[in-house]
Structure 1
Amino acid sequence: MARVKVVTDSTADIPKELLEELDITVVPLNVNFGEDETYTDRETLSPSGFYEKLQKSETMPTTSQPSPYDFETVYRDLEEEDTVIFSIHLSSQLSGTYQAATLGAEEVDTEVEVVDSKRASYAFGIIVTDIARLAKNGADRDECRNRLEHLLQHTTVFFMVDTLEYLEKNGRIGKASALLGSLLKMKPILSLSEEGEVYPYEKVRGRKKAMARIVAELENIYGDQPIQLGMFHAIAADSSETMAADIREKLNVASEVTAEIGAVIGAHVGPGTIAVTITPAQENV
């Protein structure tokens, strides 16, 4: 039976303690402030350090993906007999990371299943941790693949940004571009399409009403079934916890993780963003 190992990239925004517990290998992206300052996501630039720097900088940060060789190196380091690697990554609509991983996988003998999550941040981090936990508990390739396919079909994500400025300037606004110039006091609830592109789910007047609307929609989708809850935010811990408390009250939360949105995703959504992702729970998760 082939042993399963799990690889992801730093935009999954998985807390360090979970990475260590579940033996998840991370390939980092980079964040650039101009031509002379380049930082490695979560290695040389923490989430808190990034937002502090962002607020002081006159330069809009840019991001860059790992090279195919970066992935090839990681896959070679994980090579063992009877091993299959599940390499799960940021939406290909938002980054070339998935394509780089695919090219890297072509250069190694080990079997690598490269997966376009069509999601971002902990919205796919929650999937990565689920599969890694399965693998740690001895699940084989088919069990992991079946669970992965189920999660990709049944994981929900909603998020709110303080401003669309960052999404617009970084070219990641997708179908939400229709909202520009027409918001006034409206607070857009955003999500990711089946193709992995940002789109406006609904417009609500005011942040509190938008948060309540998200919770109501999640309750409508998941009802009483046990769920895994992921809350993630960009220096908006209080708002994130307020929404989490409401979700705990109204949904059947089997497990919960709170994550910080790191520098790469933070460069595209900006400070003040709060997000929630939910996926069906499984036994022993």
Structure 2
Amino acid sequence: MTNIRIVTDSTADIPLALRQELQIAMVPLKIHFGDEQYLDTVTLQSEEFYPKLVSSPHFPRTSQPSPAEFLTVYQSLLEEPDTEIISIHLASVLSGTYQSALLASTMLEDTPGKVHVVDSRSASYGIGALVVAAARAAREGKSAAEILALVQTMRENFYIYFLVDTLEFLQKGGRIGKASALFGSLLNIKPILSLDREGEVAAIDKVRGHKKAIARILELLAADIPSRSIRSMHIAHANNREGAELLREAIMQQFAVEHVDYITLGPVIGAHAGPGTIAAFVSTV
């Protein structure tokens, strides 16, 4: 029987305890403050990152893992007999992480075809939900083909909305245009963002005030999910638990939700989204 192992990167924002429980291997991205370099969620945790984001004179930069770093992980896992790997990563339009993983998979001359690299076309728990589902399916003895089909189905039935305090961080990180950054800073305008089908940041609406923005997210979810039935929901935040709780309560009042949990955005995702961000990651399957 084939042993399926799951690999991801640190931008999946999966809590450490859950990664350990499901034996998910993780390759970290890097975050830089000036000349200081940290490994995302390894040598720099969220609770250390957000105060540093405010106090540091340097705007953080992020960088992808190298193919060699992925190769080391793949080779270690493939030492186990009859092993295949499913490696699920940050959207290729947002980072070169997927390309690094894909290149590493081609360097395994002794075990060709044993690593399946997947572009999540998402970020944060948009990746994490796919990875966790894949790891649980692997535990149940599903084949690689069955797990890859499950990931595809989930990806097609997944909805993401996030609300940022400012577009400054997305703009400085090169993830959104400068004109949008200026507009988002005016008159208490709160931009509601999502990820399109390729994983690019997309502006959905601009609403004045936090409460109206949450109300608009509810309208958008209702249009996406007419049944108002949610299988799993993860509410994420960047050092803004209070805002996350308001979003969770609002959604729970109007939707039937089977499972709900909180996620803290890790340093790399937080560096681009900025402090105060809240997000809803919703799956209907």
**SS, match of residue 32 in structure 2:** strand
Cα contact 1:215–1:243 (8 A) shared by 2 = no
Higher mean alpha-carbon deviation, 264-273 vs 135-144, is at 135-144
Aligned to 1:27: 27
How far does the alpha carbon of each residue in 1:156-206 deviate from its partner, in whole angstroms, 9 at most, with x for none?
Answer: 111111111111111111xx6552333422211001111211110111111
Change (3 A) 1:145 1:70: same
Cα contact 2:195–2:202 (8 A) shared by 1 = yes
- In 2, Cα distance between equivalents of 1:73 and 1:205: 48
* 2:6 partner amino acid: V
Aligned to 1:269: 273
How many residue pairs get aligned? The number is 278
Give yes or no for the alignment of 1:197 onto 2:209: no
Aligned counterpart in structure 2 of residue 256 of structure 1, from 236, 260, 275: 260
Q: 1:45 Cα shift?
A: 0.5
**SS, match of residue 51 in structure 1:** helix
Cα contact 2:166–2:190 (8 A) shared by 1 = no
- In 2, Cα distance between equivalents of 1:94 and 1:115: 14
- In 1, Cα distance between equivalents of 2:180 and 2:265: 23
**SS, match of residue 181 in structure 1:** helix
Q: 1:207 Cα shift?
A: 1.1
- In 1, Cα distance between equivalents of 2:229 and 2:270: 32
Identity %: 45
- In 1, Cα distance between equivalents of 2:123 and 2:81: 32
* 2:7 partner amino acid: V
Aligned to 1:78: 77
Aligned to 2:49: 50
Q: 1:226 Cα shift?
A: 4.0
TM-score, normalised relative to structure 2: 0.93
* 1:190 partner amino acid: L
* 1:52 partner amino acid: P
Cα contact 2:168–2:181 (8 A) shared by 1 = no
How far does the alpha carbon of each residue in 1:121-173 deviate from its partner, in whole angstroms, 9 at most, with x for none?
Answer: 11211111111111112211122111111011111111111111111111111
How far does the alpha carbon of each residue in 1:187-240 deviate from its partner, in whole angstroms, 9 at most, with x for none?
Answer: 110011112111101111111111121123213322243411011110010110
Aligned to 1:3: 3
Aligned to 1:65: 64
**SS, match of residue 182 in structure 2:** coil
Aligned to 1:112: 115
How far does the alpha carbon of each residue in 1:62-110 deviate from its partner, in whole angstroms, 9 at most, with x for none?
Answer: 0111110100000011113322211000011111100000011111216
Q: What RMSD, in angstroms, separates the aligned Cα atoms of the two structures?
A: 1.4
Change (3 A) 1:67 1:190: same
TM-score, normalised relative to structure 1: 0.93
Aligned to 1:220: 223
Cα contact 1:134–1:144 (8 A) shared by 2 = yes
Give yes or no for the alignment of 1:126 onto 2:125: no
5+ long unaligned stretches in structure 2:
none
Give yes or no for the alignment of 1:41 onto 2:40: yes
